[in-house]
Amino acid sequence: NAGVIQTPRHKVTGKGQEATLWCEPISGHSAVFWYRQTIVQGLEFLTYFRNQAPIDDSGMPKERFSAQMPNQSHSTLKIQSTQPQDSAVYLCASSLGGTGGNQAPLFGEGTRLSVL
């Protein structure tokens, strides 16, 4: 089991450019989560898919951020017109998706986005 795979590990973009971050969840996991981590804000929930359907995007900034899950094997987080304040580590996590608290999400190693 390779775990949650995130690519790239580090991405550097210029202000105003687009950034696409990729996540491959653990095979068989139906729930995929995106979080953002900064020193100031800590770990913030962004969005969540279950069986590829968007369930909760309450943490997503209303502009410039979008997430998709076109198939069960990958999800993408896209940031348009990146700004320096978007610099953060973006973490993807997956879980079996069942209720009852039997398994909390497992995290990938993250993508560090640096906007210059």
Binding residues for another protein, rule: CB under 8 A, are 4, 31, 33, 35, 42-43, 45, 48, 50, 55-56, 91, 93, 95, 97, 99-101, 103-110
**CA pair distance 26, 73, nearest whole angstrom:** 8
For another protein, give the closer residue by CB, 14 or 40.
Answer: 40
For another protein, give the closer residue by CB, 31 or 88.
Answer: 31
Shortest distance in whole angstroms from residue 86 CB to another protein = 19
Q: How many CA atoms lie within 13 A of 55 on its CB side?
A: 12
CA of 8: how far to CAs of 3, 91, 103, in Å?
A: 15, 12, 27
Amino acid identity, residue 113?
Answer: L
For another protein, give the closer residue by CB, 70 or 101.
Answer: 101
